Structure 1
Amino acid sequence: MDVIERRRRFGSYLATLRRSTGKSQRQLAAHLCLLSGIQSLTRNEVSRWERGVRAPGPWLAILSRALSVPLPDLQQAAAYARGEESARPPGMLLTLAELLPTGGPLERSAGHAGRRIGHPDVRLLAGRVHALRLADDVLSGGDLIAPAFRELRRAVDLYRTASFSDETGRGLLVQLGELGQIAGWVASDAGRLDDAEYAYRLGIDAARQAGQHALVGNLAGSLAYQWSNNGRERDAADMAQAAVNEAGPDAPPAARALFLDRVAWTQTRVGEAQAAMRALGEAHDALSSEGGAQAPPWAYWVSRAELEVMDARVFTELHRPLRAVPLLTDVLGRYDTTHARELALYRSWLAVALADANEPERAAAEAQRIIALSGELASDRTAARTRVVLERLQPYAAVPEVRDVLNAHGHLLLH
């Protein structure tokens, strides 16, 4: 990585730290002036730091106070930006092995006194894992978390205690990895974030032992997605890129497209619009590529329509509603109506984009649809997105259609 890219990443890191304090660039500049007694610092200088055009240099000590970050962390980050090879700032580790060290519950019990298992047992487990994936299409996390974690516990116990050949052991590890991913996804949807991270990490350990790099990438990308939506945006962006690197260029096209979509989302969450747009394009190119390995079972749902949904979500997050609204309208017009949670989530992005486009009446109509769809769903994600939509509608409270929605459902903002 060249120095220009390192400086850009350091600037992005500073921008993420600033946003976490709730300050604008202008407010941070004013705060730095107050702390230092120097009145010459302006918003433009902060902007130059965050774009990687200029280094903060002598301001690092004051920045550490203003951003509530230990000075050694900022100094390490600045050394990285200067090109010092041994320096790695927080949140910018380069490989999954560094981001997620191995070690955990997949240690075999002494003696392996359990029953002997073979390929038929692995196939049965694979069928149950895929059944959970299909159930996740139509059920919410709160409905599936108990059976998903029950399967995960049983599979871990089977691996630790049963006796089997090396080949059967590898197959069992693959299913443990896949089960860790779906259990983590289910737990995240249920709002059980610690349980989700546990499942993802266990799955990563299993997939690594099985030598399944693409599966490791899927698990790590899933965890990155969770982090990106729960306060660890910079870590998430690094994790998503590390997942792409781990899977490598020979990953199945559908898998690579999925991983690049997650890169696009995490880059959006740290405000890197150009990197996000570039990743979206690469995701489409990957899915369109001819040849390559067949899509793994866990990527069965990756399609052109799903990539377009992520395109639209990125456009919405970047406040480009004229690009988001047509895409979402088209995809939702042909989306499977049995997938109620996804419909509610995708309509939430459409509602926000419509509000951004100054179409409050249409946004209010979408809000009504979202609430009707999500009312019976045991999904923390749909509940959170409903609150986002209602909050976005509040500036339009004088519009009758919006007022009706807020009067009827404003209590949801209290949860």
Structure 2
Amino acid sequence: MPRRPDAVITPNTRLRGARRRLPSPVRTGQCLSRTELADAANRALDCLYPGRDLTVHYVDFRWIGKLERGEHRWPSEERRAALRHVLDAPTDTELGLYSPRRTDSTLTGANEHHHQALPDPLAELLPTGDLLQLVTATAGRRVGHTTVSDLAARVHRLRLADDILAGGDLIRPAFRELRAATKFYRETSHTEAVGRGLLIQIGELAQITGWIASDAGHLHLAERAYNLGASAARQAGDATLAANLLGSLAYQHANTGREREGVELARAALDEAGHDAPAEARALSFDRLAWAHARADESQRAMRALGEAHESLLHSRDGEAPLWAYWVSQDELDVMDARVFTELRRPLRALPLLSKVLDRYDATHAREVALYLSWLAVAYADANEPEAAASAAARMFDLSDELPSARISQRASVVVQRMMRFGDVPEARALLADRRADWQRESD
């Protein structure tokens, strides 16, 4: 029996053509890639719907690919508006968008707004409302300290998974864990001490979940997770954990065009933690403040904060640091030093630090190694060493091309932009040619 005509999947050549007619904002002579269209659509959502949380409507290059292949035909009204805005199309029809369940009027130019939107895969990741409000004082079965220990183990396993997997691989299981933990807290009964323990673990889980969401490019989801975690930590009276969540959000702001907010929030995180916080926690807070200052082009303040981070770590005592700070070490402080030096265009101070850390860094942590190589490549480029920069960049791309990480994508763009001024150097020219070929395959 033949399939219904509206069930046949056919490529959306109109949308693909509209994208390919626009130039890439960073790659001279190239068309707009799927990743660049997704980024532009997400920015358009924020501009078109100010004051609304459009997180569930954010898209990535995979979603654009499905749209172009015809696997999706009728996105949400908000997404269609964003695509029309970016691609300068007056109607949905010009972009090949229509509802298979509608009449032919949709196909002939009517711009229907009353529709049944396709389900969004991220829509239920983090519900709205007060997720920490107990249902009743005696709700559900009673739980004890063993439950807190079990949850703590699950949270730490997620942290360890983040060491070796990228945000795009972990975002769904991370948010499932966070939703389950908040639901469990609300719907069970427990003593005050057990409730405090559960809140602390929810705070820690929210921090790693926010970090994963940020790495996957879902910034609004990340911000919501961080704020939820900070609320949980404050209810539990854990100022150090609350500061870690604020600092995580400050770091995100500093990296996404909100540098001044990043500085202010990083300072607030330090104030919230206080002088009695464990050495590793204070060192991490100072490092995030240093990075925010560097991104705001405040070099002297950035350098002072780096010094405070190292001074704080000197006071480390065994057994005092919280488990979530397990990765804070002298090597990690050196990496942040190098990143700040590179951001401030002081490559000769950055290069020895990055080279030393990369020589002994765990190769299974592919995303982090790739990120550090991106800083190494930029530092070499700024030091006018294009051959070494091309070598570091090639290693970065080899490690990271299959990683679903927004941070990796952003750093890759920075590296390519830095390498473009060395187009007359054979190594750099070959690297850029390889990247153009990769982008062409993505665009196709």
The TM tier, using the shorter chain, reads 0.7 to 0.9
SS of alignment partner, residue 234 of structure 2: helix
Task: Give the match for residue 202 of structure 2.
Answer: 176
CA distance in 2, matches of 1:246, 1:413: 45
Task: Give the match for residue 345 of structure 2.
Answer: 319
Q: CA deviation at 1:110?
A: 3.1
Q: Where does 1:114-133 land on structure 2 (aligned, <5 Å)?
A: 114-133=140-159
RMSD: 1.5
Does residue 217 of structure 2 align to residue 191 of structure 1?
Answer: yes
Task: Give the match for residue 31 of structure 2.
Answer: none
Identity, % of aligned pairs?
59
Alignment check: 8 A CA contact 1:152 1:176 kept: yes
SS of alignment partner, residue 275 of structure 2: coil
Does residue 310 of structure 2 align to residue 270 of structure 1?
Answer: no
Q: CA deviation at 1:395?
A: 0.7
The Cα offsets for residues 42-69 of structure 1, whole Å up to 9 and x where unpaired, read as xxxxxxxxxxxxxxxxxxxxxxxxxxxx
Alignment check: 8 A CA contact 1:328 1:350 kept: yes
Q: CA deviation at 1:411?
A: 5.3
CA distance in 1, matches of 2:238, 2:437: 46
Task: Give the match for residue 139 of structure 1.
Answer: 165
- One-letter code of the match for 1:203? G
Q: CA deviation at 1:113?
A: 2.8
CA distance in 1, matches of 2:235, 2:423: 55
- One-letter code of the match for 2:248? S
Alignment check: 8 A CA contact 2:280 2:313 kept: yes
**TM-score, length of structure 1 as denominator length:** 0.74
- One-letter code of the match for 1:141? G
- One-letter code of the match for 1:183? T
Q: CA deviation at 1:170?
A: 0.2
**Higher relative helix content:** 1
Q: CA deviation at 1:325?
A: 0.6
CA distance in 2, matches of 1:283, 1:171: 29
Alignment check: 8 A CA contact 2:287 2:306 kept: yes
- One-letter code of the match for 2:202? L
- One-letter code of the match for 1:231? G
**Which of 392, 404, 415 matches 1:378?**
404
SS of alignment partner, residue 256 of structure 2: coil
Task: Give the match for residue 93 of structure 1.
Answer: none
**Which of 191, 200, 204 matches 2:226?**
200
Give the direction of change, closer, same or farther, for the CA distance of 1:305–1:141 in structure 2 (3 Å limit): same
- One-letter code of the match for 1:261? D
Q: Where does 1:27-42 land on structure 2 (aligned, <5 Å)?
A: none
Count residues in correspondence. Answer: 313
Alignment check: 8 A CA contact 2:251 2:262 kept: yes
**TM-score, length of structure 2 as denominator length:** 0.69
- One-letter code of the match for 1:300? Y
The Cα offsets for residues 279-319 of structure 1, whole Å up to 9 and x where unpaired, read as 00010010011549711000000000000000000000000
Q: Where does 1:2-401 land on structure 2 (aligned, <5 Å)?
A: 104-110=130-136, 112-289=138-315, 291=317, 294-401=320-427
Alignment check: 8 A CA contact 1:309 1:327 kept: yes
Q: CA deviation at 1:109?
A: 1.1
The Cα offsets for residues 333-363 of structure 1, whole Å up to 9 and x where unpaired, read as 1111111000000010010000000001110
- One-letter code of the match for 2:426? P
Comparing 197-206 with 377-386, greater Cα deviation is found at: 377-386
Q: Which runs of 5+ in 1 are unaligned?
A: 1-102
The Cα offsets for residues 165-214 of structure 1, whole Å up to 9 and x where unpaired, read as 10100000000000000000011011111111111000000000000000
Alignment check: 8 A CA contact 2:294 2:302 kept: yes
SS of alignment partner, residue 302 of structure 2: helix
Alignment check: 8 A CA contact 2:278 2:316 kept: no
Q: Which runs of 5+ in 2 are unaligned?
A: 1-128
CA distance in 2, matches of 1:149, 1:291: 33
Alignment check: 8 A CA contact 2:131 2:183 kept: no
CA distance in 1, matches of 2:130, 2:422: 51
Task: Give the match for residue 90 of structure 2.
Answer: none
The Cα offsets for residues 61-85 of structure 1, whole Å up to 9 and x where unpaired, read as xxxxxxxxxxxxxxxxxxxxxxxxx
Task: Give the match for residue 410 of structure 1.
Answer: 436
